Structure 1
Amino acid sequence: MAEVPDGSWKWAIVIATFMITFLSAGSGYSVGVIYVALLDAFEKSKATTAWVASILTSVMCASFLLGVASARLIGHRKTVMICGLVAAIGFLSSAFVSNLYQLYFTCGVLIGIGCGAPYICGIEMIGHYFKKNFAIALCLGLTGAGAGQLVLSFVCQLLVDNYGWRGMLIIMSALTANICVAGSLLRPLSVNAAVLRQGTSKRTIHEKNKRLSTNDRTKSDDDATDLASSGVREILDPTLGELRSHERKEILQGDPCTAFCPKNMLTGSLILESVFILQLISNILQLTGIWIVTVHAVRHSRDLGTADTLSSSISSIMGLGQLICRPLFGAMSYSSKVKPYVLSSVALVACAVATVAIIYARNLAGQLIAIFVFGAGAGGCLAYVSVLLVFFHGTENVGLGTSLIVQTHGATALTMPILAGWMRDRYGDYKGAFWLATVSLLAAAAVTISLPYVDAIVKQRRRSRKGRTYKDTRVGLNDRETTTDLRTTN
């Protein structure tokens, strides 16, 4: 995909993505703030109450695929604005529930869908508007997640202390409605932009259209009809007939019924790519470590004797690390000498080292330094998920690829914190669970650094296979020519 000529509006897309990730990620963390209040209000067990946050996290991850499909059907702008409204309704209805099980739907499902689908829409729009500076733009946009974790965790706790958990949910409903405002900035690329990206002026194309024959004009009209029926809701330009065939194919591929049919997803080229499969494995390993530390770092600090009011700052310090270091990782991507898989591996190793430091740090200062480094590394490697997809598979696969990979987030979010809690109950501390996180993070770094070598091997095999196929074809042609010559001679 060529660079979009409108160089100013694409930075508005980055700002909109920052706002979306700020509100989406921050709203997800706000539910965790009311965990203790929900225990007191409904008097259910900790496991039953914890299902609210677990369902929310899982639905947010699962809704990434829904967001991509909906964006291809009705557009990114409409998808984000509708989902922002759903999230606001979810928060508002959660404030008036009469039992905990109603929160499973209002808080877990509605807020999960409303905050998850816009997240992937922002990432995909950055992929549409950026080519050369995709990494820095994406990291700047995703910095909103760290800022939301840092700011909204304090804000929500302050609201709970002053207005109670029901009042906090009502105020969060109004705040989350601003996702609709951010979504209004996601101006879609028009068909005319695709023509401009080819470097051809409108006047030149109109002059060429005048010289088209009647048959060519009919073919151009058919292409425009097909484009309109595919769900692209843009004002059609008469220059569509001059689009290159691959450019028309790029625009026409937005049919969600085709792109997200289970058969097509399983037989598509991306899901069968060896590099993509390794990326899935790497993400499962890194999220195993990240979820264990993220969920249990506060409880580990309290086990060491830290006061509750001080240990609650750990989550904010982790968000601060993400907020500061995600733009730095994006800036480092400018250097052609530093590859994204190297930066991602370094970030994972930093997370592993910080996890070991968390295990052996006995004072609050040491724990805060270690958790800051962990947050910085986690922010870098998670932001580079989409960057690696673009590096190995191109910007056209960033939406679907990110959505498929994020499904591992939901699976690990449901299982790994539970496993770590069981290990803590079994052995009396978090040392074993955190060592499991360390090994998983190092294994993820090893898999990530191997991606370019696997990619090179796969490409070499494809070239060899094509060469053999061409050679076999030529041998078959020579055999037929020899047989024809013998028949002619006889």
Structure 2
Amino acid sequence: MLIRKMKKLSKSGAVCVDPISYNVPDGGWGWAVTFSSFMVNVFIDGVIYTFGIFFPELLRYFGESKGKTQLLHSILVGTLFFVGPVASALVTKYGCRRVTESGSVIVSVGLFLSSFSQNLDVMILCYSIIGGIGFGLFYLPSIVIIGEYFDKRRSLATGLAVCGVGTFVFAPITEYFLETYMWRGTLWIMSAIILNGIIVSTTYRPLQTDVNRNTTKRSEVDSKPNQDDTTRNSSTCCQQICSSINATLDLSLLKSPTMLLYGASCFFVMFGYFVPSNFLPAWASEVNLSTAQGTFLISLMGVSNTITRVLVGYITDRPWANCLIIYSTALLIGGMSTCFVPFFITYEILVIYAIIFGAVKAVFFCLRSILMAELLGIHRLNSSFGLAGLCMGLSTYVGSPIAGALSDMSGNYNMAFYFGGISLGIGGLLCLPLRRISVWEKGRIDDLNKENTGQWR
């Protein structure tokens, strides 16, 4: 099956694409790839979204402020997104499998070394920086590979791959490990679990296009980009990476109003995205709920996240579904409900909130790649995904620490939730005009292409 969206973009003149017909499996081995991506995301979610369970323990052990302790998580996730452009270039040059395997090893080493930290600064270096670099290489290929193997069922496959099982599976396990082996032993176990990424990524076989026959087949040989001649002429490894990044990222996207507005939306969303999962267990203790109840809220958020990601993947494959409206509405609901968390002091209401916010998280991450492919083109997904990750990383670095600092200054968690909710709401509002801007931009490029080719009268 030809990639329909690429054909539409090519005909409209919105972008210049090579005259190659891309056939994708849309099933078959693609489902094995989807399962592997699913497992990779289970490992990632299992570490990232359970930090809120670690937070009170690390706060007591190191005796630092809430803002500084939150740096552990914010730098980890910020680095994950910030290395997106590098990961994008490495995927193009070396393939998804090799990059995923490298990321798995780096994360495992980082978590293991962090368990020996005697102060928070050393743990930030090992857990957050080394671990974040590894997670960046681990995460991006799991999303990009789905776009290569699926067309008609891309939304469903993406929803299954990133369905968020790791959160509700790892939350109770993490609590048990913390009680049994303390936080150091828990990190050892997580380090060993992450190494399984080497095994699950063996299904990431690259698709190689035969230009002459317009067919695509699975191959164990990674296809190299057209800019390989440039990188081969580079004299150093650093120059090769820089050339690859420049060739892969398509920096012309920085001139795209659609990309800039979407990047700004992602920037604001990530200010508040991790505030609920990082502070909800602490807030539960603040309103006299048990540790088990606080942990269950994170698990419940994961259950809601999982179910919603699959549903969103199925629904958005329907021709009548408007992904942008679903995406923007979910962010606005998530922002508004988060602002009201300081008024939620009963367990039942917090359970409802956890379910709602889990669904919001699912919509955001499930539709991100779908929207970028739709608005900017599937052939630009690798580049746009990396640039969006860069925007997300910048705000993630400071989002949770700002929320923690606000909590330190006010003496409670109210300001943290206000900050997170407002940021999410702004991110949702910025997305509302994206469709119109994208149509206008494509029309303008269409006119320029016609004028340049002499078709304009």
TM-score scaled to structure 1, two decimals? 0.77
Structure 1 runs (4+) deviating above 6 angstroms are 250-255, 467-474
Q: Name the counterpart of 1:363.
A: 346
Amino acid aligned to 2:187:
L
Residue range with higher mean Cα deviation, 109-118 or 24-33: 24-33
Q: Name the counterpart of 1:163.
A: 181
Q: Name the counterpart of 2:193.
A: 175
Aligned residue for 1:260, secondary structure, equals helix
Post-superposition offset of 1:5: 3.9
Quick check: 1:19–1:182 contact (8 Å CA) kept in 2?
A: yes
Matches of 2:65 and 2:95, distance apart in 1? 42
Matches of 1:250 and 1:167, distance apart in 2? 46
Q: Label 1:46 to 1:453 Cα distance change in 2 as closer, same or farther (>3 A).
A: closer
Q: Name the counterpart of 2:167.
A: 149
Post-superposition offset of 1:335: 1.3
Task: Tell whether 2:98 aligns with 1:78.
Answer: yes
Unaligned runs of 5+ in 2: 4-21, 232-239
Q: Label 1:303 to 1:45 Cα distance change in 2 as closer, same or farther (>3 A).
A: closer
Q: Label 1:439 to 1:464 Cα distance change in 2 as closer, same or farther (>3 A).
A: same
1:416-461 Cα shifts (integer Å, max 9, x gaps) = 2233334445555544553444443333333222111112222333
Matches of 1:31 and 1:291, distance apart in 2? 10
- Paired residues, number: 428
Amino acid aligned to 1:451:
L
Q: Name the counterpart of 2:221.
A: 234
Matches of 2:222 and 2:396, distance apart in 1? 43
Quick check: 2:25–2:149 contact (8 Å CA) kept in 1?
A: no
Post-superposition offset of 1:411: 2.4
Amino acid aligned to 1:351:
G
Quick check: 2:88–2:245 contact (8 Å CA) kept in 1?
A: no
Quick check: 2:102–2:138 contact (8 Å CA) kept in 1?
A: no
Matches within 5 A, 1:199-210: none
Matches of 2:113 and 2:71, distance apart in 1? 18
Amino acid aligned to 2:109:
I
Matches of 1:30 and 1:430, distance apart in 2? 18
Matches of 1:51 and 1:5, distance apart in 2? 42
Residue range with higher mean Cα deviation, 134-143 or 290-299: 290-299
Quick check: 1:60–1:115 contact (8 Å CA) kept in 2?
A: yes
1:259-289 Cα shifts (integer Å, max 9, x gaps) = 4139x85x73322111111111111232233
Amino acid aligned to 1:179:
G
1:170-223 Cα shifts (integer Å, max 9, x gaps) = 22222111111111111111345x666x2599xxxxxxxxxxxxxxxxxxxxxx
1:334-360 Cα shifts (integer Å, max 9, x gaps) = 211112112212222331343255343
Task: Pick the aligned partner of 2:314 from 324, 331, 338.
Answer: 331
Matches of 1:31 and 1:200, distance apart in 2? 42
Task: Tell whether 2:404 aligns with 1:421.
Answer: yes
Task: Pick the aligned partner of 1:397 from 354, 358, 380.
Answer: 380
Quick check: 2:208–2:216 contact (8 Å CA) kept in 1?
A: no
Quick check: 1:3–1:131 contact (8 Å CA) kept in 2?
A: no
Post-superposition offset of 1:97: 4.1
Task: Pick the aligned partner of 2:253 from 252, 270, 294.
Answer: 270
Matches of 2:34 and 2:155, distance apart in 1? 11
Residue range with higher mean Cα deviation, 113-122 or 57-66: 57-66
Post-superposition offset of 1:327: 0.7
Matches of 1:22 and 1:186, distance apart in 2? 17
1:217-249 Cα shifts (integer Å, max 9, x gaps) = xxxxxxxxxxxxxxx97289xxxxxxxxxx996
Post-superposition offset of 1:116: 2.3
Q: Label 1:368 to 1:445 Cα distance change in 2 as closer, same or farther (>3 A).
A: same
Q: Name the counterpart of 1:448.
A: 431
Task: Tell whether 2:79 aligns with 1:59.
Answer: yes
Amino acid aligned to 2:81:
C
1:87-111 Cα shifts (integer Å, max 9, x gaps) = 2222233334454433233222222
Q: Label 1:154 to 1:409 Cα distance change in 2 as closer, same or farther (>3 A).
A: farther
1:147-183 Cα shifts (integer Å, max 9, x gaps) = 1121112212211211222222222222111111111
Q: Name the counterpart of 2:243.
A: 258
Residue range with higher mean Cα deviation, 28-37 or 386-395: 28-37
Matches within 5 A, 1:284-363: 284-363=267-346
Amino acid aligned to 1:129:
Y
Q: Label 1:284 to 1:356 Cα distance change in 2 as closer, same or farther (>3 A).
A: same
Matches of 2:216 and 2:416, distance apart in 1? 59
Matches of 1:97 and 1:121, distance apart in 2? 30
Q: Name the counterpart of 2:39.
A: 19
Q: Which of the pair has more CA radius of gyration?
A: 1
Q: Name the counterpart of 1:386.
A: 369
Matches of 2:228 and 2:134, distance apart in 1? 27
1:321-379 Cα shifts (integer Å, max 9, x gaps) = 11110111111112111121122122223313432553433311011101211110121
Aligned residue for 1:190, secondary structure, equals strand
Matches of 2:419 and 2:67, distance apart in 1? 23
Task: Tell whether 2:202 aligns with 1:184.
Answer: yes
Higher helix share: 1
Task: Pick the aligned partner of 1:460 from 429, 432, 443.
Answer: 443
Q: Name the counterpart of 1:280.
A: 263
Structure 1 vs Structure 2 CA RMSD: 3.3
Quick check: 2:92–2:225 contact (8 Å CA) kept in 1?
A: no
Post-superposition offset of 1:139: 1.4
Task: Tell whether 2:432 aligns with 1:412.
Answer: no
Matches of 1:449 and 1:403, distance apart in 2? 22
Matches of 1:73 and 1:417, distance apart in 2? 34
Aligned residue for 1:338, secondary structure, equals coil
Unaligned runs of 5+ in 1: 202-231, 237-246, 475-490
Amino acid aligned to 1:456:
V
Q: Name the counterpart of 1:127.
A: 147
Amino acid aligned to 1:178:
N
Matches within 5 A, 1:112-123: 112-123=132-143
Q: Name the counterpart of 1:204.
A: none
Q: Name the counterpart of 1:486.
A: none
